[in-house]
Amino acid sequence: MATLSGQTTVTTAGSAVQLGSQIVNAPVMVKALPGNTGVMYVGNVSADVSSANGLPLSAGEVVIFPWVGNLSTLWVDSSVDGEKVAWLVLDV
């Protein structure tokens, strides 16, 4: 069975990482972890998501993408080293 949820860490602020590599073909919720101290940025600009072009998520905030074919199409970055987002597939 495929993993239906997970967490992604941005080790180095300013260096965007892919949300994952799994094919999901479903809606996905992304949430900035409540313990984050900075802002997370989410987007689909390959390796270039930042405060200039990403959707900002403060600690505890959520965005739902109505359909995601592959988690690798979504990128996250943060304003603080080591911050995380959690993701959850909503419909399988």
pLDDT above 90: residue 33: yes
Share of the chain above pLDDT 70, in %: 96
CATH class for domain 5-89? mainly beta
If you average pLDDT over residues 4-29, what whole number do you get? 95
Q: For residue 85, what is the enclosing H or E element?
A: strand 83-89
Number of residues that make up the chain: 92
Q: Cα–Cα distance between 51 and 48 in angstroms, integer? A: 10
**What is the DSSP annotation of 17-67?**
EES---EEEEEEEEEE-TT--S-EEEE-STT---TTTSEEE-TT-EEEEEE
CA 19 to chain centre: 5
Output the pLDDT for position 1.
41
What residues does each domain of the chain span? 5-89
